[in-house]
Amino acid sequence: MKKSKHSEAQIASALKEYENGRKSEDICRELGIAKVTFYAWKKKYSGMDSEQLKKLKDLEEENRKLKQMYADLALDNRMLKDVLSKKW
């Protein structure tokens, strides 16, 4: 997963500003992001504060690592079964 150059606090504050009536174009220009990025943040993180956002990102990173570990172990298991199934 690509590391965001914007912190959780920046994302949360940008979304709060938008909810308080500030235009998305101004927020995007200030942060140097595309409107598509802003609306993706809005879709994914709306209603969260910075603590919840940080926790979500930490959980997503942990989930990614666990999936990678599972894939590695499944591959090892498959290789061992293939070796054991061969007749010597």
SS3 36: helix
Residue partners of 60: CB distance under 8 A and separation at least 6? 1
Q: If you average pLDDT over each of 50-54, 55-59, 84-88, which comes out highest?
A: 55-59
Question: Taking the model in full, what pTM does it have?
Answer: 0.63
Measured CA to CA in angstroms, residue 11 lies from 47, 72, 78 at distances of 11, 34, 42
Looking at residues 56-84, what average pLDDT do you find?
Answer: 95
Looking at residues 32-52, what average pLDDT do you find?
Answer: 89
Asked whether the predicted pLDDT for residue 88 surpasses 80, the reply is no
